[in-house]
Amino acid sequence: HLEEDGPSQKCKGGNISSLPNDIGPQDKGFLNEYHGFWIPALATSGVIASQKYFQARDTDILLVTPPKVGTTWSKAILFALMNRIHYQDLQEHPLLTKIPHDLVPLLEGDIYTKKKVHDLNPAFPRLLSTHLPYVLLPTSVKDSTCKIVYVYRNAKDTFVSLWHFQNRLYPTTASLEEAFNKFCKGMSPFGSYWDHVLSCWKKSIQNPGRKMLFLKYEEMKEQPTTYLKRIAEFLDCPFSPEEEAKGTVNDISSLCSFDNLSNLDVNKSRKWCLPDHKMTLFSQGVDNAAFFRQGQTGDWVNYLTSEMTEKLDHIIEEKFHGIGLKF
Ligand code: A3P
């Protein structure tokens, strides 16, 4: 149990202000370079606090994602799978009235930037999420045998999704070209995007005993029920033959689908607030709808020029060639 005035308070006096800033008048990126990655300024104290104070347990399940790769969807899936015994009546399911972010807390956002730190004890196993790349995960996570579910996505769609999200958050965001160039330079939240993916993938290769499941957004979109079963097995809560017979896999898939979640009142018209944020952006909250834009694959063709496509393809080829990950 963590005290009320615990980590987030203690870390406020950290050396965050001495970090280089990327605050342009146009882009409002608010990114701090931190150990080779670009961390949103509003998350930096939470990152440092979670690194310092979070005590992972071997039974934890940690969802690790770069932003805009399907975090919201993955949270819904993991929550629904792990808690299905408690919510057999899907009409009463918490996902119908809460955005997935309120059901699966973000380590460096919901937990460690709050004055009052959550009591992390009650749920067992605990289901948590983070945008931190593997190398920046708290040591206790790396030392534990907790399970990691890692989700990634086609870099072009990730960029386009990020671009829309940032536009919605900061209406004066830089032009698409400017944002694209920054993305290519690695200057995206918790990026570079490739180093985020590579950092976790390389760890899983070096340490095959580490319990990690890699999921690609596009593949989950194509075969949601196959992946639901795979995830359930990984989480040690496989579907029983009875559940399969009565259609539970399809039910959970439909419950978590874009069509269903994006049309719920909670996700259409309510706001999501990061607790205790004084920053103007979050003091007003973010429309939940911002997390549910289109939910499709391949939208990048409507935005990227052939030069941009070539540039990104080149980076991806360079970074991912021969490493054995379908990217
Ligand atoms: P698009 O902007 O391409 O539509 P994150 O949750 O990591 O912020 O990622 C957001 C992306 O996931 C958005 O992509 C969003 O529409 C998509 N998304 C949200 N819920 C989804 C769901 N249930 N199924 C598939 N995609 C979903």
pLDDT (0 to 100) of residue 319: 94
Atom number of ligand 1 nearest to Cα 161: 2
Quick check: CB of 157 below 6 Å from ligand 1? Answer: yes
pLDDT (0 to 100) of residue 42: 81
- Identify the active-site residue in 1, 131, 196, 321: 131
* Peptide bond preceding 192 in cis form (omega within 30 of 0): yes
pLDDT at residue 12 above 50?
no
Of the chain, the percentage scoring pLDDT greater than 90 comes to 69
pLDDT in tens, 245-282: 999 999 999 999 999 999 999 999 887 766 555 444 55
Backbone phi and psi for residue 64, each to the nearest 5 degrees, phi listed first: -115, 125
pLDDT in tens, 77-90: 999 999 999 999 99
Cβ–Cβ under 8 Å, residues 241 and 234: no
CA of 310 to the centre of ligand 1 (A): 25
Structure token pair of residue 210? 């580490």
Atom number of ligand 1 nearest to Cα 260: 23
Centroid of chain to Cα 80: 17
Quick check: CB of 189 below 6 Å from ligand 1? Answer: no
CA of 300 to the centre of ligand 1 (A): 14
pLDDT (0 to 100) of residue 270: 83
pLDDT at residue 219 above 80?
yes
CA of 101 to the centre of ligand 1 (A): 12
List Cβ neighbours of 43 (8 Å cut-off, separation of 6 or more). Answer: 108, 109, 113, 131, 189
pLDDT (0 to 100) of residue 10: 35
User: Is 131 annotated as catalytic?
Assistant: yes
pLDDT in tens, 184-201: 999 999 999 999 999 999
Distances (CA, A) of 321 to 159, 315, 325: 20, 10, 9
Structure token pair of residue 44? 């930096």
Block residue for tokens 């874009």: 258
Residue identifier of the C-alpha nearest atom 9 of ligand 1:
68
Closest CA to 107 of 127, 128, 79, 137: 128
Q: Which region, left, alpha or beta, applies to residue 295 given φ > 0 means left and ψ of -120 to 50 means alpha? A: left
pLDDT at residue 317 above 80?
yes
HEC per residue, the chain: CCCCCCHHHHHHHCHHHHCCEECCCCCCCCEEEECCEEEEHHHHHHHHHHHHHCCCCCCCEEEECCCCCCHHHHHHHHHHHHCCCCCCCHHHCHHHCCCHHHHCCEHHHHHCCCCCCCCCCCCCCCEEEECCCHHHCCHHHHHCCCEEEEEECCHHHHHHHHHHHHHHHCCCCCCHHHHHHHHHCCCCCCECHHHHHHHHHHHHHHCCCCCEEEEEHHHHHHCHHHHHHHHHHHCCCCCCHHHHHCCHHHHHHHHHCHHHHHCCHHHHHCEECCCCCCCHHHHCCEEHHHHCCCCCCCHHHHCCCHHHHHHHHHHHHHHHCCCCCCC
Length in residues, the chain: 327
pLDDT at residue 301 above 80?
yes
CA of 68 to the centre of ligand 1 (A): 7
Structure token pair of residue 156? 């072009």
Quick check: CB of 190 below 6 Å from ligand 1? Answer: no
Quick check: CB of 199 below 6 Å from ligand 1? Answer: no
Quick check: CB of 258 below 6 Å from ligand 1? Answer: yes
Which residues are paired to 31 by β-bridges?
22, 40
Closest CA to 324 of 185, 212, 214: 214
Selected residue with higher pLDDT from 41 and 56: 56
Quick check: CB of 67 below 6 Å from ligand 1? Answer: yes
